[in-house]
């Protein structure tokens, strides 16, 4: 960790505890900052809060008293999930107090270069692929961000010969000021998190922050097939490295005659890749660009791509029961992800979908429902999705209360050779704390069928 003096005796407010707040508070304390943690939930008896108290860090919980800001606070480090409309953040902005997220802190203290990976869909798969390929090539990667350990905690232990592979959300990037990854990746931009960002333009701008501070000796890996991504990349000062599933791109990665290429070099035949789904070819091309820039050879890349079958909750194969294959795609929290999942299967599909109602429609799923023989819906969006199924002419559409009952209903409806797919097209927060919890419930329910 760089022993920078920027935070020595600086009054810092960490807004929101959780894992990122705990990590940021600990690092700032070690760097000599005077840290106060504020969380709107009561932290009475909270183990992480108790550990911070033992270090001498002040904990204020149960509400957000604005007056904290008038006690010399010079910086706010916020939990990524807290929107900028939060009264504490509005008040901080009015007082011209800088607001960052812990990823920014991680960059400032890291001795290792960072790879920043973002996009509406495919971040976790791409991050995992990049990490695995670098590890296979003995490049000493570390993994951080949404997929792993809090970035600033990883940065504490990183050395100059490491590289930190970081999955980044729009929430984290919105607070980026100095963050300058050596290699950035922007996979795609799709309408998502508008309840947080307010508009698609604001959301895209947050994603584009992954490029903002890069210079000519850095690299911006981007999806040239996505118009919004391509426009953002053009504003980058980094060396541009495109990838495409639709055309040959001389300076990047592409598909040609049934194989994946980087520049003019054949890397691997598509037939040898075990990760299912056309959408994953984008993720693989992005990963190939990144690791080739890091000096990874084709043999190491091929060893990963011929064995890597996917990430949990991302079109994850669960099991086969009486000829029915079950797939857990709980990470599909928007329609683009569900489109990709549906496109991955040629077999008849029974789709399980539903969750938090963010006010959006689902009509853009219509062209992808031709192979769906049955649809089981649940959660706040159950009636919307039921209407969608009827409009698509799906013969069997059923509304149930929970994911568990959806699994039972789907199994009763299915036949030998069918795919039963959980791909909700919605966030999970109406019934679950996380999409992981939703996916685990699906897996448990599937195994109860045996």
Mean pLDDT, rounded, for 212-239: 96
Mean pLDDT, rounded, for 333-340: 91
Confidence tier at 81 by pLDDT (50, 70, 90): confident
CATH topology assigned to domain 316-448: 3.90.190
| Stretch(es) of the chain classified as CATH 3.90.190.20 | 316-448
Residues 78/89, Cβ–Cβ less than 8 Å: yes
| Stretch(es) of the chain classified as CATH 3.40.50.720 | 11-100
* Separation between Cα atoms, residue 210 and residue 77, nearest integer Å: 18
- Long-range CB pairs of 48-53, under 8 A, 24+ apart, other chains included: 48/17, 48/22, 49/17, 51/22, 52/22, 52/25, 52/26
CATH topology assigned to domain 11-100: Rossmann fold (3.40.50)
| Binding-site sequence positions | 119-125
Mean pLDDT, rounded, for 234-261: 97
Residues 103/145, Cβ–Cβ less than 8 Å: yes
pLDDT digits (tens, 9 = 90+) for 168-213: 988 889 878 899 999 999 999 976 555 655 688 888 998 999 999 9
CATH topology assigned to domain 103-305: 3.40.1190
| Stretch(es) of the chain classified as CATH 3.40.1190.10 | 103-305
**Whether this model's pTM surpasses 0.85:** no
What is the 8-class DSSP label of residue 356? -
Confidence tier at 156 by pLDDT (50, 70, 90): very high
Confidence tier at 275 by pLDDT (50, 70, 90): confident
Does 224 score more than 70 pLDDT? yes
pLDDT of res. 190: 78
pLDDT digits (tens, 9 = 90+) for 414-450: 999 999 999 999 999 999 999 999 999 999 999 999 8
Confidence tier at 309 by pLDDT (50, 70, 90): confident
Burial of 323 (0-12, 13-18, 19+ CB in 10 A): exposed
pLDDT digits (tens, 9 = 90+) for 49-74: 999 999 999 999 999 999 999 999 99
Mean pLDDT, rounded, for 266-284: 91
Q: What is the DSSP annotation of 297-326?
A: -HHHHHHHHTT----TTSSEEEEEETTEEE
pLDDT of res. 232: 95
pLDDT digits (tens, 9 = 90+) for 8-49: 999 999 999 988 999 999 999 999 999 999 999 999 999 999
pLDDT of res. 246: 96
| Binding-site sequence positions for ATP | 119-125
């Amino acid at each position: 960790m760089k022993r920078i003096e920027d935070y020595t005796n600086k009054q810092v407010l960490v807004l929101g505890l959780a894992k990122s707040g705990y990590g940021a508070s600990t690092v700032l304390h070690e760097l000599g900052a005077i840290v106060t943690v504020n969380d709107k939930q009561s932290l009475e008896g909270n183990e992480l809060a108790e550990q911070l108290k033992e270090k001498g860090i002040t904990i204020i919980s149960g509400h957000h008293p604005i007056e904290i800001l008038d006690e010399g606070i010079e910086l706010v480090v916020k939990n990524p999930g807290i929107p900028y409309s939060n009264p504490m953040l509005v008040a901080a902005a009015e007082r011209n107090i800088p607001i960052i997220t812990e990823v920014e802190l991680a960059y400032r203290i890291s001795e290792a270069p960072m790879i920043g990976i973002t996009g509406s869909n495919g971040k976790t798969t791409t991050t995992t692929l990049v990490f695995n390929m670098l590890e296979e090539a003995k490049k000493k990667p570390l993994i951080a961000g949404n997929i792993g350990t809090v970035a600033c905690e990883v940065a504490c232990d990183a050395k100059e010969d490491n590289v930190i592979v970081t999955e980044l959300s729009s929430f984290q990037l919105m607070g980026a000021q100095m963050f300058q990854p050596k290699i950035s990746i922007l996979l795609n931009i799709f309408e998502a998190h508008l309840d947080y960002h307010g508009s698609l333009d604001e959301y895209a701008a947050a994603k584009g922050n992954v490029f903002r501070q890069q210079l000519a000796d850095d690299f911006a890996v981007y999806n040239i097939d996505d118009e919004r991504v391509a426009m953002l990349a053009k504003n980058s000062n980094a060396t541009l490295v495109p990838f495409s599933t639709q055309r040959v791109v001389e300076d990047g990665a592409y598909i040609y005659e049934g194989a994946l290429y980087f520049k003019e070099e054949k890397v691997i035949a598509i037939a040898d890749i075990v990760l299912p789904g056309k959408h994953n070819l984008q993720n693989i091309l992005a990963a190939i660009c990144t690791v080739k820039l890091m000096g990874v050879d084709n043999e190491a890349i091929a060893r990963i791509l011929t064995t890597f079958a996917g990430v949990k909750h991302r079109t994850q194969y669960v099991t086969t029961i009486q000829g029915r294959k079950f797939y857990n795609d709980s990470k599909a929290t928007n329609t683009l992800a569900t489109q990709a999942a549906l496109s991955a299967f040629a077999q008849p599909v029974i789709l399980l979908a539903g969750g938090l109602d963010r006010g959006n429609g689902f009509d853009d799923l219509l062209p992808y429902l031709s192979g769906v023989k049955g649809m089981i819906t649940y959660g706040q969006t159950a009636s919307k999705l039921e209407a969608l199924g009827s409009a698509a002419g799906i013969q069997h559409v059923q509304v149930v209360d929970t994911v568990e009952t959806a699994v039972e209903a789907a199994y009763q409806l299915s036949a030998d050779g069918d795919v039963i797919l959980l791909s909700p097209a919605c966030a999970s927060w109406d019934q679950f704390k996380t999409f992981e919890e939703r996916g685990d419930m699906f897996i448990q329910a599937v195994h109860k069928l045996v």
